[in-house]
Structure 1
Amino acid sequence: MKFKKIKVKNLRSYKEQEIEFPEGSLLLSGDIGTGKTSILLALEYALFGLQAGQKGTALLRNTEQTAEIVLDLEASGKLITIERRLKRTIKGVSNEYASITIDGQKEESSLTEIKHKIISLLGYPEEFVKKNNLLYRYTVYTQQEQMKQIILDDSETRLNILRHVFGIDKYKSIKNNLSILLLDLKSGSKILQGEITTLEQDKFILEERKSKLTKTEQVINEKALELEQKKIVRKDLELQIKDLESKIKEKKDFENEVEKTKITIINKKELSATLNREIIELSKSITEVPNFSEKEYSSLIQEMKEVKSSLELFNNQFIETASRINSFEKERLEILSKKERIFKIDICPTCLQDVSETHKHNILNETESRLSKIKKELEELKSSHDSISKSIERSRKNISELEEEKTRLEILRVRSEQIGKSKLKLIELEKQKEFVEEDCKKLFKHVDDLKEKILKYSIFDNKFRVKEEEMNKIKQEEKFAEIFLAELRKEAEISKKEIYFAEESISLKESSKKKLQNINELGDWLSTRFLNLIELTERNVLMKLRVEFSTLFRKWFNMLITEESLDSNLDENFTPIISQGEVEMDYSFLSGGERTAVALAYRLALNQTINSLMSKINTKGVIILDEPTEGFSETQIDKIRDVLQELNAEQLIIVSHEQKIEGFVDNVLKVSKHGDISVIGKGAP
């Protein structure tokens, strides 16, 4: 990783500033309080944001409401830009915005997601996402006072910090978790012991239940066999009763047939009596009558036709003569009227001439002649008319007499026909009477036959009653047997369920027993062998790290100290031991320069140890030293040159107010303060 550039706005004493990080070593030079360390804090905030326990008010300029930081860097071969903003609210100062741009692809995400990406790009282990940025603090940038503090802390606190930094706090976590697990196992063991307390007693009760079930099932089988036998007997009785019912039904049918036949006999007798009465009455109604002659009747009809024809002819003649009489009478009356007019007329109404007496007498003679002829014709016609009228009267009388004779003959014919039919009916009635009387005889015989059969079938009534009593008895026995068998089966079913649940309970308890055994074995193994293994592993890892750490610490301490008689190493708790000859020297009694040398040597040794342990992290080429020469003598300051050359870091940033350091680095940035605003300018090394 390499820092490229950082822009800050309203950060601590900075109003707005942009800083480019050149290649090689860089010194941020300036008096105390000018804002050098603020740049280092800006770098840390840009990478990790606000850390647990860190207040935003320590970064945001007091007179401003927001602060912005943009950091450009290179990591894992990618160009990365990180942007963060702080905002002051009523509740305090907090992160307002964060984004990360990787090779031109900008992503605005949550603070946690961005931290995930940065941790990944820096090559830090994933577990450091949830931890404070200790790995960065103890490899890249550590305030000198913090490094002195780790030396002054008690051994347990220091070991915990180092475990954390080295990434081997997992061993302690394993032991802590192991303690919790052992407590859980112990608690679980007590619960399981309580669960299996009645296991043997449960087994004994289970065997008793199984024995009882076996006996019950044996009784069930016996009773089931008895029940089947009763069912066989009952089915055989049902067949017998069914056969007897069939016989009784036949007997009942015979009895019904007798009743029906008796009714039929009564009906037949009534019919015979009715037929006898009809025969007597019909015999009385048959009397001898003259024979009817069809020839005579036909001759009469022919005669009637002829008489009616003559009558019709007479009627026509009568009408004709009457018409002629009326015509002559009309003509006579007209002539008489004309005769009277002629005697009275003097002048002709046509020609208006006088009518002479002669002419009148001529006309009168003509009229008298015509009247005479008419009178003669009328006398003849009236005579003929009277003769025709008499002939008509005779014909009508003759027709009346013939009609009477016809009626007599027709009555005679009808009567003859009726008597013939009555004779035929009488013969039919007598035959029917014979048939009815014959049927009665047969029916009487049929009744006698049926009575014999009824008497024969009467024995089945007693048999049916006996078999029905047997059936009721066997059904009752079968019912009681079924109830008893059902109770036994219910009892067996309950026993099976009890056995099932008991077996399940015992199985669970056996499982609990086995689990208890496994837990006890696991607890013993965890509390002895596994715990010893973890402690041994941790001791070996710590021992290896302490050897490497101690070697590097001695190396850097010897480079920084001017007193050759002083020696250094680390004890098992990674506490620096400074000795002079055989005498161990307390850290608090060392001079200021010596304490700074111890802290710087510890820091550099820790840096190299971590980089060696975690070879894949991308920050091992970057080192930031904050006031590394505090309390140093001129000679010690000169030794810093050798230290810097020995470090051979890809990017080295030093914060110091010592002007002599400017000659040890490739680049110098001057930090000054104008009023309450920090300003950075370039300076010559």
Structure 2
Amino acid sequence: MWRIERIELENFRSYKGRHVVSLGDVNILWGRIGAGKTSLLYAVEYALYGRQLEVKERVAKLLDLINVEAHEMRVSLVLSDGGRLLEIERRLGRRGDEKIVVRINGEELRGREAERRLEELLGADEDIYERLIYISHRTLEGFIYGTSQKRSLTVDRLFGIDVIDSVVRVVSSVEKSLLAKAEELRGRLAAYEKYKEVIRRYGGFASVKKRLEDLTKEVETLKEREAALSRDAEDLARKRAEHLAKLREHESMLLEYYKTRSELEVLESATEGGTFDQSTVERLRDALREAVEEFEHVVGEELAEKLSKAGDVESLSIAMMEAYNALSRLQNELEAQIAEAKKLYEQYSARVRKIDEEIAEARERLKRLEKYYARFKELQKTIQSVDSARASLAELRRQIQTLEREVSYSSALRVVALYAAETGAEKCPICGAPVRKEDLLRRVEEVEARHGTLIKEVEELKERASQLEKAVEEAEALSGEVAEYLAVKTRLEELETEREEAAKKALQAEKSWKQLEKKTERLRLLLARVDRRTISDTLAKYGRAVRIRELRKRLREIEDSLKKIGITSDVINIDVNWREVVEELEKTSRKLAEAYREKALLEEVVREVGEDAEALKKKLDNTLYAYGKLQEVKAKLELAKINARARLLEVARSRFNEVFTSLYRYGDIVRVDADLEQRRGFYDFHAITPTGDRYGISKLSDGQRLSIALALALALRDIARINLGFVIFDEPIPYVDVNIRRAFAEVVKALASRFQIVVATQSREFAEMIKEAVPNALLFKVDKKESSEAVVES
């Protein structure tokens, strides 16, 4: 491993000029505070790591390493490792230009290649150097004298996991910032609620800000306006003072003049300098009177009379407004009547259309039934009626029955006669009367003749009955269609009558509607040209014209009176201008005061609220979300730190005890157990005696705790495989406790067998203790001359 052979300084901090310090195995740098001990140690660190001194904030600026009286500084560090020799040379100028040269066994490297090769040779970066090689009193005292928490921080620093604490501190700082931000946002939201009505009145927060910007410009404009008016008022007041006595003497007349003039100016400005044509009023009056006279049967005769007789503006205004209101009401009534007439017309027209549809349908049905009705009428000609036809049919059937009986009798009589004749019977088979054959044969002929006649009559009667029966059946079959035909025909007649009446009513409604429309149109045209505003404006202009004539007349009279008493128009104009400027100045001052009050309120709103409520709510949500996430990160970091502690202890445990027993050789402690507390995750160290007793670190002596701390640091060096074979102690034991100093001297003696030791102290006694423990140690006195130049003496 590399050991320091020689340190060469030139214009480095307080070391002016060139200084060379050769080191041995154990080296003690002794000198008062500010003598230059730390500068010598910084020279070693600067040679090894260059700008890291500034990065690690050991110095504010790297240029502070240059002696105040020099423009460039140089540091040369020579290290050896067995037969190898390593020389590192760095130069730094006032302009910030830095140069490095590395020579290894005669090979010379520069720039980035030199830095890269140096990093490979050392096997340790600046962070490891600071933790395990450059050991200050802050590292040791935290372990020796601190609480469990402080001791854990010291061990974390040795392990290199104190960076987690740094991150946790940063996270905690951000947490506090987020909480503060959340409180600020809540305050702004509360302020928003407080000024909610104000913000709503302006139409939103953006409008408030815009109004504030406009107000700022408006205030400046008003201030300039106020200053200008003040100057004008002062000038006019000086001119007015020359005539003040006479003005005060006739103040009442002047006040009347000013009042009359002011009123006249207002009225003239309202007329925009034009003249009013009085015939306009007469035309308006005539138009209203004509309309009222046309509808006097509705609105009354007295209204037209009032319009004709009205002479002054007030009575004319009342009469015109009454006429307009009456005509407006009449128009509304006529419009209502027109609407009613239209409604009736539409109702009757719709009824006519409905009836037309029903008539068309009825006619279609009649057309379909007409053939049945015609057939029925033909049948009626034959049978008269169904009832009489049925009676005739019954009579025919009775006659047929009578004739059929006669036919049967005649047939039976013929059979009997033929039988008697054929058999030669002498008596009648029926009545037993004597008969003769000749009589019988004659009788047979008579019967046959009669039988034929009867059969013919029966056939004729049956034919007639059959025809009559068919006619009756057909008539009965047609009775439904006939009845329907007659009913439809009757309904058609009714519909035609109803349509005629509805058409008449629709025509009457249409006529009434059009008559009302014609009447209303004239009224509508009039009221389209004339309304309340027209009447009011016309009469107002008329009134103003009358008043202007009166005021002009009075103004001329007052001016004549003022001239007679010596108050000219120039004097009046000065007084008038002064009064106008003073009045305008008062108005401007009031506006400025109001603007200042409004501006103060809006500035308070903008300052306390800041932005729109939705944006504030969104920011608050994001802030609280980030705060919650940071709490999760913080918890995970704490867990990671505890896990890292446990893992590193597991890795370092065996080597730690080997190093401890090599440093501490008194035999009362054979082992030190290093674990973690279950509750808080702090490091827990217990010393084990030869008898197996366990003692917590708080029960150990300062020297024993010092040995444990150094053993832990050296064990970590071994694990890290560092190529640097020296240890630097910068004021390791700043306390006056003799026992701990003596214990440290013994530890240095034990370490000297493994490492090159450099101890810097301001205590002469402590330096001599180490010298006594290690007789071959080199003692260097670091002193500062009167010229503030540091020197090193062996």
TM-score, with structure 1 as normaliser: 0.36
Which of 1 and 2 has greater Rg? Answer: 1
